[in-house]
Amino acid sequence: MPLQSTATPDDTLDASGLNCPEPVMMLHNKVRDLAAGGLLKVIATDPSTRRDIPKFCMFLGHELVEQVDEGDIYLYLIRKKND
């Protein structure tokens, strides 16, 4: 099931093949470089991201716009908080 959002991401982080904690560490760096309000698409294969990425967003105040499981691939759309 693809992402339902029609918004075009400003950037994409492909963390496929990486395991905890690498996807979230890469996400942290990628979000830092994103403009406030920017939209980031994350592609991951580690099932722990289903728990870690929503917690990351909640803890740091970013919006988890969408989260979709496509078999062994996990897709996320994250909007960076406005500063």
Q: Would you please indicate which residues are annotated as catalytic (active-site) residues?
A: 20
CA 63 to chain centre: 10
> Scanning the structure block, which residue is given the tokens 């759309």?
77
In DSSP notation, the chain reads ------PPPSEEEEETT--TTHHHHHHHHHHHHSPTT-EEEEEE--TTHHHHHHHHHHHHT-EEEEEEEETTEEEEEEEPPP-
